[in-house]
Structure 1
Amino acid sequence: MNAQQIKAEQSEIIARASIGRLSNERLAETWMLTNGQPAERKVTILRGWLLDEIETRMERATSVWGDLFPNEMQRDRFDEWLTADSAPGNDFISPLPYLS
């Protein structure tokens, strides 16, 4: 691994840790701010990291809900969010309601 790859790996670790410390509200806001941005490399990478954190939190919330109500059929929140229809006139759905 060369110096540039090591620096990139360290930067990713720092970025993912920073994203992991965001509140649900700030995470959703950051995601929404990236919507509609040009598909440049940096934006695409950031959106991937944000999606990973959103999915992790939604899976955790689904797991907790299932533990509280084991007889209820739980749909995966992440899939539900990804397939949600946007409100009229709105291109994107905030993940915030699915995070809580």
Structure 2
Amino acid sequence: MKEETLNFFEKVYAVAKRIPFGRVTSYGAIANYLGAARSARMVGYAMNSSSGKNVPAHRVVNRKGLLTGKFHFSGSNLMQQLLESEGIQVIDNQIQNFDKVFWDPSQEIG
């Protein structure tokens, strides 16, 4: 991978590590925060490559609250189980009350 891709991935991981327990964000929100609004898919690629990096990738979903990245977790339901263990309700691969559990990194104070 190119160095700029690796650097972007590291920036994505730094943002993802700040997502609070019991909250989720979207690929696009991370991309926007990093000043790369059209790079939501690259954020997804970063999440897919985050295994072993202590990144809570299960907290990153698509803009509608769908668990589109679930196939990159071992086991068929691990992403949902991790979210539910944090108190997030998931029905049919969709986060319920998405607007209430959504965390926008650009709105973070401090």
Report the TM-score when normalising by structure 1.
0.36
Q: Higher helix share goes to which structure?
A: 1
State the TM-score, normalizing by the size of structure 2: 0.34
Structure with greater proportional strand content: 2
